[in-house]
Amino acid sequence: MNRRVVITGMGWVTPLGQEIDAVWKRLLAGESGVRPTELFDARTFPTRFSAQVTDFDLRSFLGERYPQHASASRNSGFALAAAEMAWRDAGLTGAADDDAAERVGVYLGGGEGPIDFDNFAACAVAGWDPAERRLDALRWAEQAYERLNAVCELEQDPNSAAGHLAYRFNARGPNLNTLTACAASTQAIGEATQIIRRGDADIMISGGAHSMIHPLGVTGFNRLTALSTRNDTCLTASRPFDSTRDGFVLGEGAGILILEEYESARRRGARMLAEIVGFGSTADAFRVTDIHESGRGAIAAMRAALESAAVAPAEIHYVSAHGTGTEENDKLETLAIRTVFGENARNVPVSSVKSMLGHLIAAAGAVELITCVLAIRDGMLPPTINYSNPDPNCDLDYIPNRSRAARVDTALSNSFGFGGQNDTLVVRRV
C-alpha cells in the first residue's frame, strides 16, 4: 500500500498581496514588498523597515463566520485567510462532513503570536523596582491584571492557529503545530505528508503563519545582528547571495496548502497541482549560533529528501533556496548545494524569493513551496532580485533579477532554522 500525496489547493497572505496568481505575477516581475515599518514605531531601531502585509481584512475572507474567529491573533488571522483560499482552490466547500471529519487534519508551522507589547511594556516598567534592581511581582501583577487580557495572552500560544483551522473546517483528525524556527512550515508539510502516507488522514491542511514584526521580534533579531540595516535603501535591502548582503529582512504572512491522498483527490476529480515526493529533516547538532562549516546538516536534509523521493540530483530543475541574505546562510547553503549536486551544481537554477517577500520565519517554507508548485505549473522561475555583486563563495545560478522560462518537473525547497534545524521538500509534476 503506497499512498501518494498531492497538493490540490494553495493560498497565501504575503507582503505582495493575498491572491495566488496576483502575487505570483509580482514575484515574476521582481517586485519588492519591503517598506518602512508601519506596524509599530521603529524610527529609532537599527532596522526601520520590513515586508509587511497591508490591507488585510479577515472579515473579507471569513464572511459570516468572522465572529466565531474574532479572537484570532495576527498569525491565526493570516492562517485562516490563507486556508480559506486554499480550501476553495482545492474545490472544497463549507467544512468537512462529520463522517469524514476525522480523516481531515491540520499540521502547521505556526509561530508564537505577536505580543501585546504596549501593555506588556507598561506592566514591566511599573513592576521594576530600580532601588532593589528586581522585579516586584506584586506591583507587576497589579498592573498585569489591569492591562493584559485572556484573548491577547492565550492566543499567543503557537497551537492557536491550528485550533482555529480545526474549528473552521471541522478538521477532527491529527492536529499538530511545529515550531522549528525558520524551518517550521517546511517541516509541517513534510510531516503532514507522512501522516497521509501512513493512512492516518486523507486530507491535511498544512503550512505556516507568522508575524514577528513587533518591537520584541525586531529587537531579538537586531540584537543578533541578523537583520539588514540598509535603512536608506530598504527596497533593495534583501539581497541573498550578493556580496554586499548584510542580513535578512523580516517579513510576515502565511502559506497554506491542501495535501491530499492521491486516490481521494482522483475520486473527487480534484485538480492535482503537484506531488510531494520527498522530505528530509536533520539537526546540525553543532552550535547554537553557527552552522557547521561543512554544511553537514543541510547536506544530509537534502540527501534524505532526494533519497526518499528516489530522485537523483540531476533530475532537479529548480531549487528554492532558504537564501536569507545573511553572510553565513548563503555561503553555507551554496556549499551544501554544491556538495549535493556535484558537477551539476552550476546548471541547476537556484533562487530566493526572500529577496522580494522578506523572511516570513515560520511561514517562509510554505510560501516558498507554493512558488515551486507555480514554477512547475507555469514553467517560470522566480528571480533573486537585488543581485548585482557576485560573491566568490556564492557561485551558483541564482536567477539574478529577472524571472526565466524553464520547464520544471521536479523542484527542491530548503528551509533552515536557528539552532541547526534543516528541512527539505521535493515536489514533482503529477
Q: How far apart are CA 9 and CA 22, in angstroms?
A: 16
Q: How far apart are CA 214 and CA 28, in angstroms?
A: 29
Cell of 80: 485562516
Report in angstroms how near the CB of residue 238 gets to other proteins at its nearest: 20
Q: What is the sign, positive or negative, of the torsion defined by CA atoms of 135, 137, 143, 148?
A: positive
Report in angstroms how near the CB of residue 205 gets to other proteins at its nearest: 11
Report in angstroms how near the CB of residue 400 gets to other proteins at its nearest: 32
Output 66 or 402, the one with its CB closest to other proteins. 66
Output 110 or 253, the one with its CB closest to other proteins. 110
Output 174 or 400, the one with its CB closest to other proteins. 174
C-beta neighbour count of 231 within 10 angstroms: 15
* 164 carries an active-site annotation: no
Q: How far apart are CA 189 and CA 372, in angstroms?
A: 14
C-alpha 376: how far from chain center: 19
Output 76 or 238, the one with its CB closest to other proteins. 76
Output 309 or 385, the one with its CB closest to other proteins. 309
269's torsion region: left (phi>0), alpha (psi -120 to 50) or beta? left
CA atoms within 13 A of residue 374's CA, in its CB half-sphere:
27
Which of 332, 349, 325, 368 is CA-nearest to residue 239? 325
* 152 carries an active-site annotation: no
The residue ranges of DSSP E strands in 20-79, in sequence order, are: 35-36, 49-50
CA dihedral 265, 268, 271, 274 (to 10 degrees): 0
Report in angstroms how near the CB of residue 385 gets to other proteins at its nearest: 27
8 A C-beta contact, residue 292 and residue 411: no
CA atoms within 13 A of residue 140's CA, in its CB half-sphere:
11
Cell of 400: 539574478
Q: How far apart are CA 363 and CA 112, in angstroms?
A: 11
Report in angstroms how near the CB of residue 338 gets to other proteins at its nearest: 20
Output 118 or 395, the one with its CB closest to other proteins. 118
* 359 carries an active-site annotation: yes
CA angle in degrees (0–180, nearest 5) for 307-326-413: 25
Output 289 or 347, the one with its CB closest to other proteins. 289
The single-letter code of the amino acid at 11 is G
Catalytic pick among 182, 234, 372, 394: 182
Report in angstroms how near the CB of residue 323 gets to other proteins at its nearest: 20
Catalytic pick among 69, 317, 359, 372: 359
Report in angstroms how near the CB of residue 391 gets to other proteins at its nearest: 25
- H-helix or E-strand containing 129? strand 128-129
CA-atom Rg of the chain in angstroms: 21
Output 138 or 405, the one with its CB closest to other proteins. 138
Report in angstroms how near the CB of residue 115 gets to other proteins at its nearest: 9
Cell of 205: 491542511
Decide: helix, strand or coil at residue 181: helix
Q: Which residues are catalytic?
A: 182, 322, 359
